């Protein structure tokens, strides 16, 4: 059994290889499909003829495409994503510095979404076609229909402008506070590590609005999936049989049905994470959040291609990794996996 | 104990209503029966008779829109039709248990068998922590499961359907239930598995005094295992009799119809209905000298890649050959019907697909009308002139009809594709005459499949198959999805068509008693090999192969032969 | 002929039934009609020229003259929001049609023929889906050039995998049903069987996907223009209108964001609800 599972996990890891390869090919194509001479873009605006030539050789633009691809992969392996035009730093450096800010935001958003959506979905599934189910349906559909930049601005208007509950919605930390020393890069966690609750509270307050915006966007698919897979499980024959055998309601709902329903839920969480990574870009713009999303937008405006490609690649790698983790969890939790392949 | 045993369950004048969008519908009305300790009661009826709903109401398992406005259900002196939810919870599983159709899906797919039993015992507080495992072992042994450790640690999907049903029975017995409600417990299982499960249930009734309500559509099973019979039709009880009286004194015409339509060991296809079918005056078609179809050494293998991913990397991937059909040889003469019988996985469906040229054979020859058609790939055969000579009637009357096509479209389809050029008028006429030939009213022409009954759908499938005047028709379990009374008429239709049109059939089925009614010769298939073939009467009366014998003995049939003849004579 | 009328009758009946059952469904169908009407006739109905600026009346709140107020250049927000309907829906319709045709075609072939072809197509879809889709769309537009047509292409590309998956799953499910074998026995070629017998039976679920995708496509396009990709000012587009208003929200000029945002949200809401309604129609069992 255990041996089977390990084999399956290895298989999953192997299956991710062609996907990653495909991701590399696409992002390579994105670098080479640029209008005009890529070397000019990658060398930067200040470059003279000599440095452009240098870049051209380094990227192997004078060589065959397969060679160029290998050179591209080689550069990636060395952590080289090129120079950013806008900041003058290497793209790798920029992404490393900004990634924790984005992740902190996205993960909190996802967590808040799960916290609200799962009970909501279960509630709706337990009382289908009652007012609570309809309310859930309307809320969820409205959540799925709201453009993320709109809900972000709306929350900002209500909680900052009208009510004044939220701190100034700009950046990760109000300027009166000092950044906590870098350990994880998550301000809230770093502040807790040194025991500075003031900074923690300030950082958390800054996080709350943008994270809620993301949570609103995550709500819909999670609640919908919880509801439908719970209903499927509750109407299944094994739950009916358990009822006929006098198994208690709590056991039926929270053990029999929920266990089965949580498997499809796991898949949806992966999907939602992808949503949030995209939505992150918009939220970061609205809240001037110094993550990789706002970095990418600045890069877009300045036609800073190396930065954009680095951003797209990193996002894809993040997403593939998360989906891989979910696949592995699924393999571990579902006894049926690997048996009837 | 008094001589007259106390009633364990008594249902009287029960009515069940369902709230639907079109108002309240009474599904079941005036149902009464009772049951004693150790008795097995059969609740028999065709689809839509209300037999399942009746059984569900005993444990109050009706859907939320169902209610019991009239009647009472008394269990052991207790009125359980008005029991509180708490009381019901105690009765369910502890006093009365239930097992269902599809045992695979009635067990929680991600819970081990042992956990199921533990849940059950703990939920009813039956055993203490210390002896719970012993208790479980005892239960599993009681349902004749012997490799205890494997089964306890297995997930339901790792067990066979029969094994799962045994586990369900063990669950039902876990808290010493005294009444077992079995809702079509063996539908979908192999006949041999069916026999062992039913034997087990019967044994429990005899040895432990378990009372059983067996809900079934199959009078054969009922007659083999039950002491009491309740027949339902359209939500009403039409017959309620003890075993002795049921076969000799049943009066209701519906009961008689059912009794007649149920295949028996000696019965002929014309005996399946009270009225003698009209085809009897058509003489048997002449059987040709030369065979129409010759199959030589037919073989079909599927290659399955197995082994771990690592072994694939090392280049040591195992390629496992799964042989579906092994070197079968037989021939069919024009005008005759040959039966092909076997259990699930015997390769009979694969054989029929190859003969229909929907699949290519791995080896061997199919010679049709003197031409080797196995050399033509199934792709090219679509355009081959022989395509219209070989047609097929499918098992699933619903699935085999395109849900978006009307009856006219469905029957006209082969005519449009492969027939001679028809103009609109002659096409209409042809379709009309085909519909009349299979006994479909012509006003059904514009109906969609979902507006037809099961038997009507089967008729459309048959009309479509004979539209091109084929020489050879493959009948792939054409009646297994139908109620017995409908099966009877469809079988008679097939017999009529064979006589009228001089068709040759290959009749594929799992049910020997159905096949033998139409066939002149029978092939018995097991694990891809034809283990026995011969004249029908010979195979039926002196089977040689042990598998044939096993098949014969495990199919439940009505043994009360005399009684049936008495009814038929009536 | 006859079959056609029966089918339509059925759908009409079911529709009436559904509308009677569910208030939300009927509201969504009405809204859907309103949006289509605005997209077609919007530009002829608006009270002001959406591009005409008049700084004298800049940043005025909603009034009887200007229902949705005016923006920083004194343009009438109401007119701009209405006129934008055609552009936003146009982008969505174009993108969704491209992805529907390409995705369904590829997915149907994959589902029907299986084998290496199915694996290849499946892999390709997986690779596209390995990207967070909005991020991929950003990358595509950035590289292919910042223009409207590229926004359409990018939106189409990120939606293709969904049609591939649905068409593949549906077709391979239907392929095993016996009516397919019956069609082959009746002399239909594989091509004909796939496109004339199987695909029509997969259509209901594909149409549901179209409706839901319309919502996504609108959101996606608006999101791209919000961060400055695709459509550019001064053209009126919902995403841009919100982006232009974003700078004024902290100072309390809420109408610049609220009205275009609400109209955009309502559009997506409508398509999602219509999708739900169609799903009920296609499979009444799914939502009990």
| Residues from chain C contacting residue B389 (CB–CB below 8 Å) | none
- Asked whether residue B511 carries a pLDDT value surpassing 50, the answer given is yes
% of chain B with per-residue pLDDT over 90: 21
Looking at the fold, whether B241 and B377 belong to one and the same domain comes out as no
C116 compared with C3, residue with greater pLDDT? C116
Banded model confidence at residue B181, pLDDT cuts 50, 70, 90: very high
Write out the two tokens for B141: 């042994």
Write out the two tokens for A22: 């495909």
| Residues from chain B contacting residue A238 (CB–CB below 8 Å) | 105-109
Give the nearest partner residue to A245 out of B120, B155, B158, using CB atoms.
Answer: B120
Contacting chains of C (3 CB pairs or more, <8 Å) are A, B
| Residues from chain B contacting residue C188 (CB–CB below 8 Å) | 382, 413, 417
Q: Nearest C-alpha of chain B: how many angstroms from A73?
A: 24
Looking at the fold, whether B250 and B362 belong to one and the same domain comes out as no
B369 compared with A306, residue with greater pLDDT? B369
Restricting to C residues 200-259, those with a Cβ less than 8 Å away from any Cβ of B are 200-201
DSSP track, chain C: -HHHHHHHHHHHHHHHHHHHH-HHHHHHHHHHHHHHHHHHHHHHH-SS-TT---GGGTT----SSSTT-B-TT--BHHHHHHHHHHHHHHHHHHHHHHHHHHHHHHHHHHHHH-HHHHHHHHHHHHHHHTS-HHHHHHHHHHHH-SSHHHHHHHHHHHHHHHHHHHHHHHHHHHHTSHHHHHHHHTT--HHHIIIIIIHHHHHHHHHHHHHHHHHHHHHHHHHHHHTT-SS-TTS--HHHHHHHHHTTTTTT-THHHHHHHHHHHHHHHHHHHHHHHHHHHH-TTT--
- Predicted local distance difference test score (pLDDT) of residue A110: 93
Banded model confidence at residue B3, pLDDT cuts 50, 70, 90: very low
DSSP strand pairing (B228-233 vs B236-242): antiparallel
**b/e map B129-142, b = 16+ CB within 10 Å:** eeebeebbbebbeb
Encode pLDDT of A144-202 as tens digits.
888 888 888 888 888 888 887 878 778 787 777 778 888 788 888 888 888 888 888 88
- B309 inside domain: yes
Least confident of B207-211, B315-319, C34-38: B315-319
Looking at the fold, whether B41 and B161 belong to one and the same domain comes out as no
- Alpha-carbon Rg for chain A in angstroms: 24
Mean per-residue pLDDT of chain C? 82
Give the nearest partner residue to A339 out of B92, B98, B158, using CB atoms.
Answer: B158
**CATH classification of the domain holding B43:** 3.40.50.300
Rounded to 5°, the CA angle C111-C117-C123 comes to: 90
> Cβ atoms within 10 A of the Cβ of B10, count?
17
Looking at the fold, whether B170 and B185 belong to one and the same domain comes out as no
Encode pLDDT of B40-52 as tens digits.
999 998 888 888 8
Q: What's the domain range around B111?
A: 105-176
Residue ending a domain, among B262, B288, B319, is B262
Write out the two tokens for B223: 């007659």
Residue C130 at interface with chain B, using a CB cutoff of 8 Å: no
Residue C145 at interface with chain B, using a CB cutoff of 8 Å: no
Q: Nearest C-alpha of chain C: how many angstroms from A252?
A: 20
- Predicted local distance difference test score (pLDDT) of residue B42: 92
Answer for the pair A116, A219: CB distance below 8 angstroms, yes or no: yes
Mean per-residue pLDDT of chain B? 85
- B458 inside domain: no
Looking at the fold, whether B234 and B360 belong to one and the same domain comes out as no
| Residues from chain A contacting residue C126 (CB–CB below 8 Å) | 19, 22
Give the nearest partner residue to A247 out of B106, B120, B308, using CB atoms.
Answer: B120
Q: What are phi and psi of B476, to 5 degrees?
A: -95, 95
Give the nearest partner residue to B309 out of A14, A244, A256, using CB atoms.
Answer: A14
How many domains, chain B? 3
- B252 inside domain: yes
pTM: 0.84
User: What parts of chain A have a pLDDT lower than 70?
Assistant: 1-2, 33-38, 41-47, 58-60, 337-341
Give the nearest partner residue to A278 out of C24, C135, C222, using CB atoms.
Answer: C135
Tell which of C92, C143, C214, C261 to mutate to test the A interface (max A CBs under 10 Å).
C143
Residue B389 at interface with chain C, using a CB cutoff of 8 Å: no
> Cβ atoms within 10 A of the Cβ of C54, count?
12
CA dist B282 to B155, B239, B278, C50, Å? 57, 37, 8, 85
Give the nearest partner residue to B394 out of C7, C182, C200, using CB atoms.
Answer: C182
Contacting chains of B (3 CB pairs or more, <8 Å) are A, C
DSSP assignment letter at A160:
I
DSSP assignment letter at B452:
S
- Predicted local distance difference test score (pLDDT) of residue B522: 92
How many cross-chain Cβ pairs, A to C, lie less than 8 Å apart? 157
Segments making up each domain of chain A, as ranges: 97-301
**For residue B424, is it left (φ>0), alpha (ψ between -120 and 50) or beta?**
alpha
B445 with C184: Cβ contact below 8 A: no
Give the nearest partner residue to C186 out of B404, B406, B413, using CB atoms.
Answer: B413
Least confident of A83-97, B275-289, B309-323: B309-323
Give the nearest partner residue to B123 out of A11, A14, A248, using CB atoms.
Answer: A248
Answer for the pair B329, B528: CB distance below 8 angstroms, yes or no: no
Least confident of A244-258, B68-82, B274-288: B274-288
| Residues from chain A contacting residue C273 (CB–CB below 8 Å) | 141
- Predicted local distance difference test score (pLDDT) of residue B309: 47
Q: Nearest C-alpha of chain C: how many angstroms from B447?
A: 8
CA dist B278 to B270, B282, B389, B497, C81, Å? 9, 8, 27, 11, 76
Q: Nearest C-alpha of chain B: how many angstroms from A15?
A: 10
Looking at the fold, whether B48 and B109 belong to one and the same domain comes out as no
Helix (H) or strand (E) holding A324: helix A305-333
Residue ending a domain, among B231, B262, B293, is B262
- Residues C237-248, mean pLDDT to the nearest whole number: 85
- B288 inside domain: yes
DSSP strand pairing (B472-476 vs B504-509): parallel
Nearest CA in chain C to A25: C127
- Predicted local distance difference test score (pLDDT) of residue C10: 58
- Residues B351-376, mean pLDDT to the nearest whole number: 89
- Residues B138-151, mean pLDDT to the nearest whole number: 87
Encode pLDDT of C213-230 as tens digits.
888 899 999 899 888 888
Banded model confidence at residue C15, pLDDT cuts 50, 70, 90: low
A308 with C126: Cβ contact below 8 A: no
Query: Would you identify the CATH topology of the domain A97-301?
Result: MetI-like fold (1.10.3720)
| Residues from chain B contacting residue A14 (CB–CB below 8 Å) | 309
- Asked whether residue B204 carries a pLDDT value surpassing 60, the answer given is yes
% of chain B with per-residue pLDDT over 70: 94
- Predicted local distance difference test score (pLDDT) of residue A32: 72
A256 with B108: Cβ contact below 8 A: yes
Q: Nearest C-alpha of chain A: how many angstroms from C113?
A: 19
- Predicted local distance difference test score (pLDDT) of residue C12: 62
Nearest CA in chain A to B177: A245
B106 with A240: Cβ contact below 8 A: yes
Residue ending a domain, among B160, B176, B192, is B176
- Residues B100-104, mean pLDDT to the nearest whole number: 85
Q: Nearest C-alpha of chain B: how many angstroms from C2?
A: 6
| Residues from chain C contacting residue B408 (CB–CB below 8 Å) | 2-3
C138 with A286: Cβ contact below 8 A: no
Q: Nearest C-alpha of chain C: how many angstroms from B492?
A: 23
By CB atoms closer than 10 A (0-12, 13-18, 19+), residue A181 is exposed
CA distance C79 to C43: 8
A150 with C242: Cβ contact below 8 A: yes
Answer for the pair B529, B306: CB distance below 8 angstroms, yes or no: no
B279 compared with C1, residue with greater pLDDT? B279
Encode pLDDT of B437-485 as tens digits.
998 998 899 888 888 888 899 999 999 999 999 999 999 988 888 888 8
- Predicted local distance difference test score (pLDDT) of residue C61: 73
Question: CB neighbours of B96 closer than 8 A, spacing ≥ 6?
Answer: B58, B59, B75, B177, B178, B179, B180, B181
Tell which of A28, A99, A141, A288 to mutate to test the C interface (max C CBs under 10 Å).
A141
- Residues B241-246, mean pLDDT to the nearest whole number: 83
Start-to-end CA distance of chain B, whole Å, equals 43
A238 with B106: Cβ contact below 8 A: yes
3-state secondary structure of B422: coil
- Predicted local distance difference test score (pLDDT) of residue B465: 92
Nearest CA in chain A to B59: A244
- Residues B385-411, mean pLDDT to the nearest whole number: 90
Banded model confidence at residue C6, pLDDT cuts 50, 70, 90: very low
- Asked whether residue B224 carries a pLDDT value surpassing 80, the answer given is yes
Q: Nearest C-alpha of chain A: how many angstroms from C143?
A: 6
C184 with B399: Cβ contact below 8 A: no
- Asked whether residue B93 carries a pLDDT value surpassing 90, the answer given is no
Residue B395 at interface with chain C, using a CB cutoff of 8 Å: yes
- Asked whether residue B92 carries a pLDDT value surpassing 60, the answer given is yes
Which domains are assigned to chain C? 3-286 (1.10.3720.10)
- Predicted local distance difference test score (pLDDT) of residue A46: 66
**b/e map A31-67, b = 16+ CB within 10 Å:** beebeeebbebbbbeebeeeebeebbeebbbeeeeee
| Residues from chain A contacting residue B310 (CB–CB below 8 Å) | 7, 10
Tell which of B399, B411, B480, B508 to mutate to test the C interface (max C CBs under 10 Å).
B399
| Residues from chain A contacting residue B149 (CB–CB below 8 Å) | none
CA distance B565 to C92: 73
Looking at the fold, whether B172 and B188 belong to one and the same domain comes out as no
- Residues B246-275, mean pLDDT to the nearest whole number: 82
């Amino acid at each position: 059994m255990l041996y089977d599972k390990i084999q399956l996990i290895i298989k999953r890891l192997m299956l991710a290889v062609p996907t990653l390869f495909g991701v590399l090919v696409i992002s390579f194509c994105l670098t080479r499909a640029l209008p005009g001479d890529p070397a000019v873009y990658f060398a930067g605006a200040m470059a003279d003829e000599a440095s452009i030539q240098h870049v051209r050789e380094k990227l192997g633009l004078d060589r065959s495409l397969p060679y160029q691809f290998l050179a591209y992969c080689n550069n990636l392996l060395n952590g080289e994503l090129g120079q950013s035009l806008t900041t003058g730093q290497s793209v790798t450096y920029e992404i490393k510095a900004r990634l924790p800010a984005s992740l902190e935001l996205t993960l909190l958003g996802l967590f808040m979404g799960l916290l609200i959506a799962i009970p909501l979905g279960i509630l709706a599934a337990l009382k289908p076609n009652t007012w609570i189910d309809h309310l859930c349906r309307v809320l969820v559909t409205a959540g799925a229909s709201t453009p993320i930049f709109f809900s972000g601005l709306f929350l900002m208007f209500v909680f900052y402008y009208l009510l004044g509950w939220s701190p100034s919605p700009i950046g990760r930390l109000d300027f009166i506070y000092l950044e906590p020393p870098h350990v994880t890069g998550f301000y809230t966690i770093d502040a807790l590590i040194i025991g500075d609750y003031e900074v923690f509270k300030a950082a958390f307050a800054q996080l709350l609005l943008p994270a809620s915006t993301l949570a609103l966007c995550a709500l819909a698919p999670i609640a919908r999936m919880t509801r439908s897979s719970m209903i499927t499980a509750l109407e299944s024959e094994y739950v009916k049989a358990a009822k006929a055998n006098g198994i208690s309601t709590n056991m039926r709902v929270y053990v029999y049905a929920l266990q089965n329903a949580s498997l499809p839920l796991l898949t949806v969480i992966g999907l939602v994470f992808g949503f949030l990574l995209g939505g992150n870009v918009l939220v970061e713009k609205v809240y001037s959040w110094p993550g990789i999303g706002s970095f990418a937008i600045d890069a877009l405006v300045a036609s800073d291609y190396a930065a954009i490609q680095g951003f797209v690649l990193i996002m894809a790698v993040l997403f593939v990794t998360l989906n891989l983790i979910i696949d592995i969890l699924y393999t571990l939790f579902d006894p049926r996996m690997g048996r009837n392949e | 104990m008094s001589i007259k045993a106390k009633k364990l369950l008594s249902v009287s004048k029960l009515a069940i209503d369902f709230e639907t969008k079109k108002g309240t519908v009474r599904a079941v009305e005036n149902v009464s029966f009772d049951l004693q300790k150790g008795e097995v009661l059969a609740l028999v009826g065709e689809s839509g008779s209300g037999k399942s709903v009746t059984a569900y109401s005993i444990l109050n398992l009706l859907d939320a829109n169902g209610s019991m406005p009239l009647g009472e259900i008394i269990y052991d002196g207790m009125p359980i039709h008005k029991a509180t939810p708490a009381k019901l919870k105690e009765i369910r599983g502890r006093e009365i248990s239930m097992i269902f159709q599809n045992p695979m899906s009635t067990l929680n797919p991600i819970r081990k068998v042992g956990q199921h039993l533990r849940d059950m015992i703990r939920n009813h507080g039956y055993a203490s922590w210390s002896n719970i495992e012993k208790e479980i072992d005892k239960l599993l042994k009681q349902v004749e499961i012997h490799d205890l450790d494997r089964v306890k640690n297995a997930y339901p999907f790792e067990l066979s359907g029969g094994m799962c049903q045994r586990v369900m029975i063990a669950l039902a017995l876990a808290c010493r239930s005294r009444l077992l409600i079995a809702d079509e417990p063996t539908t979908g299982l192999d006949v041999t598995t069916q026999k062992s499960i039913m034997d087990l249930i019967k044994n429990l009734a005899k040895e432990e005094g378990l009372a059983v309500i067996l809900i079934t559509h199959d009078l054969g099973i009922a007659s083999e295992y039950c002491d009491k019979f309740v027949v339902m039709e359209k939500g009403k009880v039409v017959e309620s009799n003890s075993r002795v009286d049921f076969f000799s004194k049943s009066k209701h015409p519906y009961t008689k119809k059912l009794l007649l339509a149920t295949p028996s060991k000696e019965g002929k296809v014309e005996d399946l209905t009270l009225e003698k079918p009209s085809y009897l005056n058509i003489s048997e078609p002449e059987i040709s000298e030369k065979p129409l179809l010759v199959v030589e050494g037919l073989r079909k293998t599927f290659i399955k890649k197995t082994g771990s991913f690592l072994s694939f990397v090392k280049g040591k991937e195992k390629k496992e050959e799964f042989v579906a059909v092994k070197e079968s040889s037989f021939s069919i003469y024009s005008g005759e019907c040959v039966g092909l019988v076997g259990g699930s996985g015997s390769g009979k469906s694969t054989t029929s697909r190859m003969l229909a040229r929907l699949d290519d054979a791995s080896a061997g020859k199919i010679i049709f009308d003197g031409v080797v058609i196995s050399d033509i790939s199934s792709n090219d055969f679509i355009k081959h002139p022989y395509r219209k000579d070989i047609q097929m009637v499918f098992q699933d009357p619903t699935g085999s009809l395109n849900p978006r096509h009307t009856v006219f479209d469905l029957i006209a389809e082969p005519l449009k594709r492969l027939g001679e050029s028809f103009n609109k008028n002659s096409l209409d006429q042809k379709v009309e005459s085909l519909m009349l030939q299979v006994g479909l009213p012509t006003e059904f022409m514009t109906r969609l499949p979902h507006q037809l009954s099961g038997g009507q759908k089967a008729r459309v499938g048959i009309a479509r198959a004979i539209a091109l005047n084929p020489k050879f028709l493959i009948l792939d379990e054409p009646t297994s999805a139908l109620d017995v009374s409908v099966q009877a008429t469809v079988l008679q239709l097939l017999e009529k068509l064979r006589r009228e049109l001089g068709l040759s059939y290959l009749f594929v089925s799992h049910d020997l008693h159905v096949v033998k009614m139409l066939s002149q010769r029978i092939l018995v298939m097991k694990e891809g090999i034809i283990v026995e073939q011969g004249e029908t009467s010979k195979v039926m009366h002196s089977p040689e192969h042990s598998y044939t014998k096993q098949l014969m003995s495990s199919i439940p049939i009505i043994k009360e032969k005399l009684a049936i003849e008495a009814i038929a004579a009536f | 002929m006859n079959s056609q009328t029966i089918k339509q009758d059925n759908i009409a009946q079911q529709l009436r039934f559904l509308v009677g059952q569910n208030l939300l469904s009927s509201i969504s169908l009405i809204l859907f009609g309103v949006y289509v009407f605005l997209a077609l006739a919007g530009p002829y109905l608006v009270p002001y020229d959406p591009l005409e600026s008049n700084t004298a009346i800049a940043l005025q709140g909603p009034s009887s003259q200007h229902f949705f107020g005016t923006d920083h250049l004194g343009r009438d927000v109401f007119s701009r929001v209405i006129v934008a309907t055609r552009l936003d829906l146009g982008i969505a319709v174009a993108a969704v049609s491209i992805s529907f045709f390409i995705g369904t075609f590829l997915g149907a072939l994959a589902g029907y023929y299986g084998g290496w072809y199915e694996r290849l197509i499946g892999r390709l879809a997986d690779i596209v889906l390995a990207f967070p889709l909005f991020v991929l769309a950003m990358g595509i537009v950035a590289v292919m050039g910042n223009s409207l047509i590229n926004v359409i292409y990018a939106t189409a590309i990120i939606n293709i995998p969904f049609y591939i998956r649905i068409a593949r799953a549906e077709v391979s499910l239907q392929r095993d049903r016996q009516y397919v074998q019956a069609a082959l026995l009746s002399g239909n070629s594989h091509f004909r069987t796939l496109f004339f017998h199987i695909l029509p039976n997969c259509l209901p679920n594909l149409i549901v996907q179209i409706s839901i995708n319309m919502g996504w496509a609108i959101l996606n396009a608006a999101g791209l223009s919000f961060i400055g990709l695709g459509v550019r000012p001064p053209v009126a587009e919902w995403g841009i209108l919100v982006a232009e208003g974003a700078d004024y929200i902290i100072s309390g000029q809420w109408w610049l964001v609220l009205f275009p945002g609400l109209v955009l949200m309502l559009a997506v809401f409508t398509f999602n609800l219509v999708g739900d309604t169609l799903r009920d129609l296609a499979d009444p069992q799914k939502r009990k």
